[in-house]
Structures are given as structure tokens and as C-alpha cells.
């Protein structure tokens, strides 16, 4: 996928769900994975021609895992002229040593998001951009359906009233396959995930289930995504907007 197409998808999502307003200062959560680096590229490019003026910066949360080198991300941000911040934490120690969590992902995610949102507010941001893409929408819905017995997924825009931060997800129209292609085409500095439970989570199980379904039903992802966007899930607009 070329940058022009990525910007088209991103701009459409932003406009459909009113994600950006004039004068916004947006912190992009950059983990170093392909998704967040793609989002960084998209918003950096969009900033040059979007009709509303907005600022961006990038934030990485250092979990305290071994061999985490953020210098390639810093270099990319310098090349893009995007301010970059690294928030150092002890999240890894809390999750794996102090708490010894058997299912650490939920706690780690909450602590990581809290650290990201707190720093974003401290540096004057009113919005935080997460890099969830179309496949994440689908897999979150499947996780909720299979493990909670309810039909639900995250919303494109989420207001966090307790912290005066608004979460936006501009990549919801971009598939994981397209993100992979984009990261490869533009040689993004994707970091290796050093988390000890990477690839052994319920989300990974659901990812494999959806992949299996896709082999037998080629359009299944399109149908699953439409089931979310055309539903009554809070934050989604039903059938009123264009679908990707």
C-alpha cells in the first residue's frame, strides 16, 4: 500500500467520525510495532494538507523489558519533524515480578495506556491516537462474543472524562495486510517484541480463528467488520457512512 492510499483511508475515518478539530494537539502512541509506525506516517503526512490545523507528537512507553531500543523511532520522528517522548516505567517489573500475573495482558495494557495518557496530558495534548486497525476491530468483537457472551467492540472515538483526553483510532479502515505491506514498502523501523507472552494470548487465538474462517469464507472479514459498523454498538454510526 502506498502512502497516498493510507492517507485516503485515514482521512475518511477521521472525517466520518469527526476525530480531529481545529487546533487539536494529538499524541500518537508509538510502541515500535508496524501499526503504530504506520499511524505515525499517516498523521504526519495528513498534517500537511488536511483542511483543519492540528499538531502531533509521538510517545513511546518503555515497559522496562530487555533490549528495547527506541533510537530508530527517534530517528524516524526527527526525519518527520515530529516531537518524540519516551516515558520510562516499571510496568514489566510490576506485571511479571511483583504481581506474577498468569494472564498479564490486561494489566499491562491498562498500565501502558495510563502512562501514555498521563504524559500526553502533561505535554498539553487533548487527544491520543491509537493504532487499532480494521482487523483489531473484528478481533475485539470476536473476543467479546466468545469470552464475554456479548456483541461489542471499541469505538472509533472514546471520551475519557476523568483525564480530559479523547482517544481516536484513525486506522479503522485499514486492514492488517495493508499495514504489513505499507511497513515493508517504506522500510519502517519495526521493533522486535520482547514481551515473554507475545503470541500466547487469547487475542492471538482469536486471530487464528478468524484466519481459519477466511480460508473457507474469503469475504468473512468484510462481513464481520460490517456487523460492527452497522450495529448499535455505542460510538459506531450504523449504515450512515461509507464502508471500507
Domain spans in the chain, listed from the N-terminal domain onward: 3-137+153-191
**What residues have CB less than 8 Å from 158, skipping those under 6 apart?**
166, 167, 235
Total residues belonging to the chain: 244
Q: Could you give phi then psi for residue 214, rounded to 5 degrees? A: -65, -35
The model's pTM: 0.92
Alpha-carbon span 244 to 230, nearest angstrom:
12
Q: Are the C-beta atoms of residues 59 and 23 closer than 8 Å to each other? A: no
pLDDT band of residue 242 (cuts 50, 70, 90) is very low
Q: Return the ∠ at Cα 77 (arms to 75 and 82), rounded to 5°.
A: 150
Q: Which CATH superfamily is domain 3-137+153-191 in?
A: HUPs (3.40.50.620)
Alpha-carbon span 156 to 163, nearest angstrom:
18
Share of the chain above pLDDT 90, in %: 73
C-alpha cell at 156: 472509533
C-alpha separations of 202 from 44, 105, 125, 138, 139 in Å: 33, 9, 32, 14, 10
**What residues have CB less than 8 Å from 241, skipping those under 6 apart?**
16, 229
Partner residues linked to 85 by β-bridges: 59
Alpha-carbon span 13 to 169, nearest angstrom:
8
Question: Which tens digits make up the pLDDT trace of 93-120?
Answer: 887 767 666 677 778 888 899 999 999 9
Mean pLDDT of 196-206: 76
Alpha-carbon span 189 to 169, nearest angstrom:
21
User: CB neighbours (10 Å) of residue 232?
Assistant: 7
Q: Please determine, for residue 198, whether its predicted confidence score (pLDDT) is greater than 70.
A: no
C-alpha cell at 118: 498521563
Pairing type for strands 84-88 and 24-29 reads unpaired
Residue of higher predicted confidence among 101 and 186: 186
Q: Are the C-beta atoms of residues 157 and 15 closer than 8 Å to each other? A: no
Per DSSP, the three-state class of 50 is: coil
Mean pLDDT of 137-160: 95
Question: Which tens digits make up the pLDDT trace of 121-140?
Answer: 999 999 999 999 999 999 99
Helices 220-229, 134-148: axis angle to 10 degrees equals 80
Question: Which tens digits make up the pLDDT trace of 67-91?
Answer: 889 999 999 999 999 999 999 988 8
Amino acid at each position: 500500500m502506498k502512502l497516498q492510499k493510507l492517507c485516503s483511508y485515514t482521512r475518511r475515518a477521521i472525517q466520518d467520525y469527526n476525530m480531529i478539530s481545529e487546533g487539536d494537539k494529538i499524541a500518537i502512541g508509538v510502541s515500535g510495532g508496524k501499526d503504530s509506525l504506520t499511524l505515525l506516517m499517516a498523521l504526519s503526512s495528513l498534517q500537511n494538507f488536511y483542511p483543519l490545523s492540528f499538531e502531533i507528537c509521538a510517545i513511546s512507553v518503555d515497559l522496562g523489558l530487555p533490549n528495547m531500543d527506541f533510537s530508530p523511532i527517534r530517528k524516524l520522528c526527527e526525519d518527520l519533524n515530529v516531537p518524540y517522548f519516551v516515558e520510562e516505567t516499571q510496568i514489566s517489573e510490576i506485571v511479571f515480578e511483583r504481581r506474577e500475573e498468569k494472564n498479564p495482558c490486561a494489566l499491562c495494557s491498562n498500565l501502558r495506556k495510563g502512562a501514555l495518557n498521563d504524559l500526553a496530558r502533561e505535554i498539553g495534548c487533548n487527544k491520543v491516537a491509537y493504532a487499532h486497525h480494521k482487523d483489531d476491530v473484528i478481533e475485539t468483537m470476536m473476543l467479546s462474543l466468545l469470552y464475554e457472551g456479548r456483541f461489542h467492540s471499541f469505538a472509533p472515538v472514546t471520551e475519557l472524562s476523568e483525564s480530559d483526553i479523547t482517544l481516536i483510532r484513525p486506522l479503522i479502515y485499514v486492514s492488517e495486510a495493508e499495514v504489513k505491506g505499507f511497513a515493508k514498502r517504506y522500510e519502517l523501523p519495526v521493533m522486535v517484541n520482547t514481551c515473554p507472552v507475545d503470541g500466547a494470548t487469547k487475542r492471538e487465538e482469536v486471530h487464528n480463528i478468524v484466519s481459519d474462517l477466511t480460508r473457507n469464507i474469503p469475504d468473512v472479514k468484510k462481513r464481520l467488520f460490517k456487523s460492527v459498523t452497522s450495529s448499535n454498538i455505542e460510538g459506531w454510526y450504523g449504515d450512515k457512512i461509507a464502508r471500507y
